[in-house]
Amino acid sequence: MAEDLAEELEAYAAAWSRVATDGIADFWRHDHFRFYKAEDMRELFTEFPGVLAYWRSNEKLHDSVSLEFHGVLDLGIPGPARLVSARMEWRIDYREDALDAGGMPHRHASKATSGWNHVLSLWEQVDGRWYLTGWCEAPDGAPTYLTDLIYRVAGDSD
């Protein structure tokens, strides 16, 4: 387990809970940004300004965001960077006044969504501090996800 980066992921989750782009962006090394792939986006971001715009649009939608990371594992790539995998549980509560990109009420306004997926994150250390440079959220395929959902709803974790 990568205890130091597990702690960083906990702090990153706390930043997300504040639904503030600037706080989330503080965890990122903007000058060495590589990639960002969110589960809910078709686009793979390869430039940091695009990610910032995506996060800022979420500020208009999200009332709260809860992230929990489990099974944090350092994948041991060579070199100074570290590639870390984790399982992420998430919940998003949407604002009552949430609007979509067209200015219409968002379909999840006043509702919540939640789920789980896998995350691969790329980290670099600068002056003793760890920074993110890459992030990819990878949900399980639909058959696996739906089977897990059925078991969770039924209360059977085996």
pLDDT for 90 equals: 94
Q: Domain 3-154 maps to which CATH number in 3.40.50.850, 3.40.50.10860, 3.90.980.10, 3.10.450.50?
A: 3.10.450.50
From 89, 86, 83, select the one nearest 71 (Cα to Cα): 86
Strands (E), 52-111: 62-74, 82-94
pLDDT for 154 equals: 77
What are the structural domain ranges in the chain?
A: 3-154
Q: Which residues contact 106 (CB under 8 A, 6 or more apart)?
A: 61, 94, 98, 99, 100
All residue ranges of the chain with pLDDT < 70 are 1, 141-143, 145, 156-158
pLDDT for 69 equals: 97
Pairing of strands 82-94, 112-126: antiparallel
Against a cut of 0.75, is the pTM above it? Answer: yes
pLDDT for 145 equals: 66
Say which amino acid occupies 81. Answer: A
pLDDT for 141 equals: 67
* CB of 128 closer than 8 Å to CB of 149: no
